[in-house]
Amino acid sequence: MGDIRRLHNERVIYGKESGLRPMDAEQLRENGHKMVDFIADYYKSIENFPVLSQVEPGYLRELLPDSAPNQPESLQQVFDDLQAKILPGVTHWQSPNFFAYYPSNSSTAGFLGEMLSAGLNIVGFSWITSPAATELEMIVLDWLAKLLNLPDDFLSAGNGGGVIQGTASEAVLVVLLAARDRVLRTVGKTALEKLVVYGSDQTHSALQKACQIGGIHPENCKLLKADSSTGYALSPDLLSEAVSHDITNGLIPFFLCANVGTTSSTAVDPLLELGKVTKSNGIWFHVDAAYAGSACVCPEYRHYIDGVEEADSFNMNAHKWFLTNFDCSVLWVKDRNALVQALSTNPVFLKNKASDANMVVDYKDWQVPLGRRFRSLKLWMVLRLYGVENLQRYIRNHIKLAKQFEELVAQDPRFEIVAPRKFALVCFRLLPPHRNEDFSNKLNHNLLDTVNSTGKVYISHTALSGKYTLRLAVGAPLTEERHVNAAWKVIQEKASVLLSEFGMNGVS
């Protein structure tokens, strides 16, 4: 009787043919299998899609209704729309022919971890809200810190520790806020307008955004020139001069963001020497290794973060090149109290015995939002289901493929390598006829557009010393040698067409 009434109520609430109930384990099983099948089929056929979506802005509004349906629709109807309307507007980041920006890895282990995180769906802002979430995050980030051979100061056993942020932008923001409040506690809150931040002009715009949010005077976010003479790395002498100059002028240097693997060209700043400058001037030293940090789990690439022992904080995006589905940006600090002092709040409704007794880490005090997902599950599963040796092999293979691509470019006299390759990014361009830079920039811009409009490959661009530069980053999990070779073929073919239009075809 009771069951019939419950069934009746459900029908009233969700309709007779309602399809999905808010939570029903058997429905989840059935539909979850269908969804996994859909995604597995997607990966199997991913090469059939144009890598870069070819739709025009606003395309979707024409295809979808103006308002949400009153009555439930079936999962099949949604799948049909996904195929017909959504997938054409998707750029396929997991395609083996995706070489743009930096990779954003998915993997079977990362995907399963993401599923698990969605399934448990906890909100782990304080230890008490899910002790395992906090404790697993601490343990897994200690594992990863050890893999990267970070100094013990970054481990959770001492005063430091790791935390998973959504993105590198959030990572640099929270440490900038920690550094800002640390210095303001000494010099007084009214000195905010005198605080100065440094980075090279190759530093990701995330630093500028952090300054905007942190109330740093725009003129005091100083991006020092880094050009080809230093391989686009920040010169410690330049930093030292800028710091002295600013101190003389009554300003207060307080934060440096150095790079290991810049976005444009994977430049690596000399951490050890920069660290000497920051140490002698009481400047917080943050290292942004969002992309290249992953490579440093291989002993032969670890030297790129030599000098990290001088840093106050270090960040890498496991969601870029470490097989962990987006989002999972890992930040380590030496002094977790600095973060907590800048970011903690303690409202009465969150009070609990463990927090009050100061026995636990409450990650809400290490980040901007209160709520947080159980993201460490993804990283834990990636580390466990692949193991360190496979992860190293994965990175090495991409670097090998990038090296092969670099050699192909170098063999074609119509092209040049614009910046030295360190990891799996190759920066190159079609050479300008008669060294006409303006023309070259247009030519390479055209080349990028024509290559990407084929849908066979997706590469991106940057500017290095005023040169419009093409970027090919190997790093998608499905990419093999044949994809890299095919990408080069498309680039060569399109270059030949463009050059012949200008009556200047050379060797191909």
- Among 216, 233, 287, 290, which residue sits at the site for ligand PLP (rule: CB under 6 A)? 290
CB 322 within 8 A of CB 296: no
DSSP class of 85: I
Between CA 444 and CA 441 the distance in angstroms is: 5
Tell me the residue type at 94.
Answer: Q
Instruction: Return the SS3 of 418.
Output: strand
Q: Annotate 188-252 with three-state secondary structure.
A: CHHHHHHEEEEEECCCCCHHHHHHHHHCCCHHHEEEECCCHHHCCCCCHHHHHHHHHHHHHCCCE
- Among 164, 179, 197, 206, which residue sits at the site for ligand PLP (rule: CB under 6 A)? 206
Q: Which of residues 21-40 bind ligand PLP (CB under 6 A)?
A: none
Site string for ligand PLP, 149-168 (x = CB under 6 A): ------------------xx
Minimum CB distance to ligand PLP smaller for 113 or for 261: 261
CB 104 within 8 A of CB 320: yes
Binding segment for ligand PLP among 16-24, 84-92, 180-188, 286-294 (CB under 6 A)? 286-294
In the complex, the smallest distance separating the C-beta of residue 352 from ligand PLP, rounded to whole angstroms, is 31
Between CA 424 and CA 408 the distance in angstroms is: 14
In the complex, the smallest distance separating the C-beta of residue 327 from ligand PLP, rounded to whole angstroms, is 7
Minimum CB distance to ligand PLP smaller for 126 or for 259: 259
CA atoms within 13 A on the CB side of 508: 15
Site string for ligand PLP, 335-374 (x = CB under 6 A): ----------------------------------------
Q: Which of residues 420-479 bind ligand PLP (CB under 6 A)?
A: none
- Among 111, 254, 284, 291, which residue sits at the site for ligand PLP (rule: CB under 6 A)? 291
Angle between helices 131-147 and 376-411 (to 10 degrees): 30
Binding segment for ligand PLP among 26-34, 259-267, 437-445, 465-473 (CB under 6 A)? 259-267
In the complex, the smallest distance separating the C-beta of residue 436 from ligand PLP, rounded to whole angstroms, is 31
Nearest residue to 331 via CA among 231, 243, 206: 206
In the complex, the smallest distance separating the C-beta of residue 206 from ligand PLP, rounded to whole angstroms, is 5
Between CA 411 and CA 360 the distance in angstroms is: 58
In the complex, the smallest distance separating the C-beta of residue 171 from ligand PLP, rounded to whole angstroms, is 8
Angle between helices 108-120 and 376-411 (to 10 degrees): 150
Minimum CB distance to ligand PLP smaller for 52 or for 289: 289
Residue 408, interface with ligand PLP (CB under 6 A)?
no
- Among 180, 204, 286, 422, which residue sits at the site for ligand PLP (rule: CB under 6 A)? 204
Binding segment for ligand PLP among 5-13, 113-121, 131-139, 255-263 (CB under 6 A)? 255-263
Binding segment for ligand PLP among 87-95, 231-239, 285-293, 304-312 (CB under 6 A)? 285-293
Minimum CB distance to ligand PLP smaller for 253 or for 261: 261
In the complex, the smallest distance separating the C-beta of residue 197 from ligand PLP, rounded to whole angstroms, is 15
Residue 329, interface with ligand PLP (CB under 6 A)?
yes
**Is the bond leading into 152 cis (omega within 30 degrees of zero)?**
no
Minimum CB distance to ligand PLP smaller for 155 or for 172: 172
User: By rule CB under 6 A, what count of residues binds ligand PLP?
Assistant: 14
CB 417 within 8 A of CB 406: yes
Minimum CB distance to ligand PLP smaller for 330 or for 408: 330
CB 264 within 8 A of CB 232: yes
Minimum CB distance to ligand PLP smaller for 134 or for 169: 169
Minimum CB distance to ligand PLP smaller for 317 or for 444: 317
Between CA 151 and CA 307 the distance in angstroms is: 10
DSSP class of 435: G
Binding segment for ligand PLP among 88-96, 243-251, 283-291, 401-409 (CB under 6 A)? 283-291
- Among 288, 312, 362, 365, which residue sits at the site for ligand PLP (rule: CB under 6 A)? 288
Nearest residue to 109 via CA among 385, 397, 429: 385
In the complex, the smallest distance separating the C-beta of residue 204 from ligand PLP, rounded to whole angstroms, is 4
Tell me the residue type at 267.
Answer: A
Beta strands per DSSP E along 268-414? 284-288, 313-317, 329-333
Nearest residue to 23 via CA among 129, 119, 130, 122: 119
Minimum CB distance to ligand PLP smaller for 140 or for 172: 172
Nearest residue to 375 via CA among 176, 173, 138: 138
Residue 102, interface with ligand PLP (CB under 6 A)?
yes
- Among 169, 200, 452, 479, which residue sits at the site for ligand PLP (rule: CB under 6 A)? 169
Edge-to-edge strand order for the sheet containing 415-419?
A: 415-419, 425-430, 467-473, 460-464
In the complex, the smallest distance separating the C-beta of residue 209 from ligand PLP, rounded to whole angstroms, is 9
Minimum CB distance to ligand PLP smaller for 27 or for 167: 167
Minimum CB distance to ligand PLP smaller for 291 or for 394: 291
Handedness of CA 101, 404, 408, 454 (dihedral sign): negative
Binding site for ligand PLP (CB under 6 A): 102, 167-169, 204, 206, 261-263, 288, 290-291, 317, 329
